[in-house]
Structures are given as C-alpha cells and as structure tokens.
A and B are shown apart, each in its own frame.
Chain A
Amino acid sequence: MTERVPSGGIPRTPGLPHPPPPQPELQEQATAERSATRPIALALTVSMAASIGLGVVYALGGQVQLEGLLLFFALGGIAVGFIVWGQKLLPQGPYVQDRHALTSGVADQEETSETFEEGAESLERRRLLVRLLTGAFVALGAALVFPVRSLGSAPGSSLFRTAWRRGSRVIDENDRPVRPEDLDVGGVLTVFPAGNNGSADSQTLLIKLGAGEYRPKPGREDWAVGDVVAFSKVCPHAGCPVGLYEPDTHRLFCPCHQSVFNVLDACQPRSGPATRPLAQLPLTVDRDGYLVARSDYTEPIGPGFWDRDR
C-alpha cells in the first residue's frame, strides 16, 4: 500500500481501519494482530518481573552479574515490546514524500550576497576604525594567550635534567641505600636518588653483570662499581619503564613497544622502534660503601624532543 503525501505532509495517517462488514482479509489481519499482541505482553511482563528482581537483588546487597542480567531483561523486554509493536501493529507505509530542492535558487543567493556586500561596504568606509578594530582584536587575541601560558611550567631545562646529582645516594623502592654487594650476578634493581623515591625521570636500573663482562664505552671506564652498572629505566622511544631483564642474554625489553637493548653494548637498541641507547648513570661508592652517583646523566634521558641535541 503506497499513499502519496504532498510535501507539506498535511493529510493525517488514517488510523487502522475498522469497517463493520467482516471481510476475510480483515479477519486475517485481526488474527495477525492478536498473535503479535501476545509476545509484546509477554516481553513487557518479563521486563516488569526483571525490574522487581533488580530491586530484590539491590536490597540483598547487590551482585554484579545478576544486576547485568536483570537489567538486560528489564530493558530488553521493553525493547522487544516496542519493536514488535512498531513492526506488527503500526502502519508501515511505505509512505512517499517529496524531497524539497535544497537550494533556494540563484536569485536568492545573489540577493543574500549583495546584502552582505552592502553591509560590508558601509563598514569599510570607516577605514581607520576598521583598522583599529582589527588591531584591537589582534591585541586581545595576544592577551588571551597569557592565561594559556599559565597552564604549565616552561619546559626550560627540565627535560635535560633529572634529580640525580653528584653524590646522590642510590636508594631502592623502600628507601634503603644500596651497596654493590647487595646484588647477585644477573640481578637487577630499580633505584632512585635519595629523597626522590618514585621519581618518574630519575628511575634507574642497577644491573650486576658477570665478572669482567662490562665493556665500557671510551670515557666511561670508571662509571661502573665492580660489575654494577646503572642505566636509565625510561625507554628512549615513548617513555615506558624498560621493565624486563633477561640475564642470560643481557638484554632489556620494553614491554610497551618491544624495543630491545643490549646491556653489554652500553644499552644500544637491538630491535624495535627505539633509536637511542638507554642513558648510563656514572656510579661510584661513598665512604660507607654505598652506591652514589658521580653526577646527573650526561645526556637527556627518555623520549626524544626537537631540540634534544641542542
């Protein structure tokens, strides 16, 4: 059944027909309607029961799986009711409506443009004022940048430095100072400078290599204490903690993007997206035999930024 409705949509949809003389088609329709009513009634009843059930579950202390299941039936019952009602008991059409042309036509467009232009012309006649207005807006825009500046501190040198200083004592996560002999061969420990436990950019891995395995880069001969070396734990790719150490192969793995670093080769990246080695922290021991830093890292740790090599 297709009914043509003018684009104004004025004629109302006729209600469901109710003619008095019984016709076979209408009887069929009535039967179909009755058979559609039953599932709707059932679904709505299920919904009601589930909502009552929700109340009971809540009163008894709540239980997440039951709550989810009962919500499913409470909402789903109404859903089935609505959808079957909409599909079986309501006029489906299809009804046909005209689409309006979306354009108003060339004449209207012309007139609109002209109206704009006329207005703009009368504004533009005041040349000086227009220029001053532009200037005022530019100045205001610049002034509004200042609150944006308040959002955060300047990067300054903070990406170039960590909390490590000359003589910073090496502490573990429980604030205990560390001696070189506290680590077994193949052992690894996350450490921080004393007073900065948990510091994101100062987190450092202490690794004890086997005897004679440390092959320092030129200039780093005295950066290890015995066979204990220290490298930044911050991945130079995207900044994740390089958390996994495989003592047999002397490799460090970053669990985020699978960069692999060779500890015996000054932590050069072996595979994955990392482009730089992990920075090495120069170590020594103080008079009491505890590990201390010789200085801060000698290069920026962690992920790259545009003026890192400045």
Chain B
Amino acid sequence: MIRRTVTFFDERLHVSRFVRSSLDKVFPDHYAFLLGEIALYCFVVLVGTGIFLTFFFNASSTEVVYHGDYHPLVGATMSDAFRSTLDLSFSVRAGLVMRQVHHWAALVFIAAIVAHLCRVFFSGAFRKPRELNWMVGVTMLILAIFNGFSGYSLPDDLLSGTGLRIAFSIAQSIPLVGTWIAFLVFGGEFPSHRITGRLFVTHTLIVPALLVALISVHLAMVWRQKHTQFPGDGHREDTVEGPKLWPTYAMKSLGLFFATAAVLCLLGGLFQINPVWLYGPYHAAQVSSPAQPAWYMGWLEGALRLMPPWEIRAFGFEIPNPFFPAVLLAGVTFLGLYIWPFLEAWATGDRSVHHLLDRPRDHPFRSALGAGTLSFYAVLFFAASNDLVAKWLKVRVTIITALFRIAVFAVPAVVGFVTHRLLRALARSGAPRFSEMPRQALRKGFRPARPVDG
C-alpha cells in the first residue's frame, strides 16, 4: 500500500528523494523548543473550534428582543450578535464548551507566542541567519493580539463594546489622519452598525488566512535553515543532533498536539471564561465596573491608566492623550521588536552566522535588557488593575496610580541591573547553574568590573 502510494506520487511529481530526506530530518530536542509548537497547536484548536462557532454566530447589530433559554435576560433588547452568542452558549448542545475552549485557546495561543519569543530572544536564536523568521514571528504576534481583540469584541457584550469604544478613541487620537482612520474602519461615527460584520470577516477570514500563510513561511524557514541547538554535549555549529522526524519526532509532536488540545478542553470545560451573559448586551451609555480586558491587552490598558493628563496643543491642533500610551507605545514596542536583530548586530558588530544558541549568561547585557523590558510590560499589565489593587488594599486609586507611575520606571531599572550582575557573576564563576555557584562569586558579580574582564 505504502509502496504503491509512493510510486504513484513519485511517477507524477518526482518527490521520493525529497520525502525520504524529510523523513530522516533530524530535530534537536529541548523542552524550550516546544513553545512554538504549542502556539501552533493552539492555532489548530482555534481553527477547529472557531469553524464550529461560525455555524451559529450571527454577526449582525440588528436589534432583537431576547426570548431564549437564559431567563435573566428574557425580554431584553440586544443585538442579534449578542443573542446568537447566548443561544450558542445555552441552547446549542456542546456549544458552550466549544466557545470556552476557543476563548481559552486564544489566551494560551498568545501566551505561548510570547513565551516562544522570550525563548528566542534570550537564547539569541534571532541572530543571523534567522532575522527574517524573527520578523515573521513578530508579525504573527501582532496578528494574534489583533485577532484576540477582534474575537472578544464580536459578542457585542457590555465589556467588549466598551473596549471597541476605547479602540475608536485611540484610532481617533492619531494626528492628521486619526478621525478618517476611525471613521473608515468603523464605517462611520461610533457605534456604527457595520463594525460587527467587519470584525467578523477580519476575525474569521482575513487574519486566519494571513496566519496560515505566515505559519507556513515560518516553518518552511525553520525547515530550510534547520533548528538551532544549545551548546554543550559536543554540539557543533556545523551539525544538528536529535531524533529523526519519522517516526520518533512525529510521534512526540503529535503527542504534544493532543496534550495541548486536552489541556485547552479541560480549561474550557471547567473554568468559566468571558461569561457575556453576566455583562449583558452593549448599550453605549452603560459600562461594567470593574472593566478588565483580556490579558494580552493589559499592557495597553495599563499604559492608558498610568499616562499623566498631558497632551500637546498648539495652533488649534492637538495630539490627544491616548496617542502616547496606545499608538506611540505600541508602535515603539513592535518597531523595536522588528529591528532588534539588526540593532544588536550593529551594536555588537557580530555579523556571523550562528546555529548554536547563547545561554542567557553568555550575553548578560542582552539578557538584562530583555528582563528589564519584560518587567516594564509586566508593571503596565498590573497597572491595568489599579482600581482592583486599590480596592483590595483599601487605598485611594490615585495613590496606587502614583506608585505604579514610579514603578513602571524603577522596576525595569532594578530588574535589569540585578539580572546583569547575577548573570555576570554566573558567567565569571563558570558554574553550570545558579544553585552550584559559590557565594563569593555572587558578591564578585556586583563589584565593578576588573580591567581584564573588559
């Protein structure tokens, strides 16, 4: 059977040699290399559950009166989008589990991408010849965040409707073209009846198609360039070591797919997520409090909350306040990510090809910069809950905001400094890991550099 299939295709497409070398292809095995695969498998789950959801969801802002199975909202006016989300959750058998698995998969998808990005950053895997694939990855991160946002905006509930209102205000804040951008994207002044339909097409067709294309490019480049590996165990720049694709690696990777799907189903079944029926349908004059966005929007929400009440006004023109924490910060963040491989190569003068990875200590400055930057976004993320923190601590929210405004600069500085000194100490001590490093080596790390250390 296999023989006949191989012959059939080879006589038509000349594929035998390629397929054989592919089956024999060696993949380095390391748990940190699985993060990208987890993201990929989340995407597969997202597509599968998402297709199911499209069969029931109705992307329409037509006003209807609810007469469904969720009694507290019977008689309420709502958009057909919200009504169909309720029906999908309460009246379609297995609908709720599909919806919740989809939502959880989106949260884990972006988390896995960010973790994968961190692994690639801290191990220097973005260096030549992999700069292009780094940029493809950053593009996919942006698309994933965008699709997360557009997805949770679809049900037209009170929480996500407020999120869209903020998005409109952010678009509007762009100098010169902002009002036009906002009006063209939303189809008119907020709230436009067109936006739900547009979000639906973008969320279910345009962005997934782009992601499929970019995932293919991403994997093709890994295939072509072969995977990096960590130094040690006799690993060399000019070879690659590990199990072969067929059957060992394929078996393990399929196992990881099923494991990812299993965990997502457990989350979707047991842990309620985005209970839109508790928020209620969107009405422009209502708002839910406290209002928290999905985790991957937290840094932007936090930045909006921490920004002091400044804006630039001159000659009858202004740059509104949300421009700085939302548009500028997001722009700088992603631009910085895009150019980082080239920036580092320019700064270090290292333009050679690398297939062996760095350990974080091999490049204390890069690692410190990465850790500091991460902590900056982490502080912003927590600042998005400044009202909740204030409530728990029974302190006025203005005090919490003031503390966060200090922390957003102080924490990255401290984290960066400490990371740098710890890693330098570890590198100088030659110990294989922190737990085996002698204590005086730690002290040495914090002392000023001796001249020989350069």
Contact = CB atoms under 8 A, between A and B. Distances in A.
Interface of A: 2, 5, 8-10, 12-13, 58, 61-62, 64-69, 71-76, 78-83, 85-87, 90-99, 102, 148-149, 151-155, 158-159, 173, 190, 192, 198-201, 203, 233, 237-241, 243-244, 255-260, 269, 271-275, 302-310
B166 interface: yes
Interface centre among A74, A95, A159, A274 (most CB of B within 10 A): A95
B168 interface: yes
Given A86-B248, A304-B320, 17 more contacts: A2-B241, A68-B266, A69-B270, A79-B259, A83-B251, A86-B255, A91-B248, A99-B238, A152-B183, A155-B189, A200-B165, A241-B284, A241-B286, A273-B309, A303-B172, A303-B322, A309-B313
A258 B251 contact: no
Contacts of A96: 26, 239-241
B284 A240 contact: no
A82 B184 contact: no
Nearest to A304: B320
A151 B184 contact: yes
B240 A58 contact: no
A91 B313 contact: no
B263 A72 contact: yes
Contact of B162 (A75, A154, A240, A275): A240
A205 to B, nearest CB: 9
Contacts of B270: 65, 68-69
Ranked nearest first, the 6 interchain pairs of A and B with the lowest CB-CB distance are A68-B269, A304-B320, A82-B255, A86-B251, A83-B255, A79-B258
Interface residues of B, number: 104
A278 B243 CA distance: 65
A279 B449 CA distance: 59
Given A82-B254, A152-B186, A240 B269 contact: no
B321 to A, nearest CB: 5
B173 interface: yes
Interface centre among A83, A243, A303, A307 (most CB of B within 10 A): A303
A64 B397 CA distance: 38
Given A5-B24, A76-B258, A256 B241 contact: no
B304 A92 contact: no
B394 interface: no
Nearest to B17: A8
Interface of B: 20-21, 24-26, 29, 93-94, 96-97, 100-101, 129, 162, 165-166, 168-170, 172-176, 178-180, 182-192, 194, 224-226, 237-244, 247-249, 251-252, 254-259, 261-263, 265-270, 283-291, 301, 304-311, 313, 316-322, 325, 353, 355, 386-387, 397-398, 401
Contacts of A78: 255, 258
B316 A310 contact: yes
A2 B239 CA distance: 13
Nearest to B29: A94
A87 B243 CA distance: 10
Contact of B265 (A61, A72, A91, A94): A72
Contact of B97 (A13, A64, A306): A64
A272 B268 contact: no
Given A65-B270, A239-B166, A309 B316 contact: yes
B355 A99 contact: yes
Given A75-B261, A309-B318, A99 B239 contact: yes
Contacts of A306: 174-176, 178-179, 317-320
A303 B262 contact: no
Given A200-B190, A238-B170, A275-B309, A93 B242 contact: yes
A72 B166 contact: no
Nearest to B398: A271
Contacts of B173: 303-305
Nearest to B265: A71
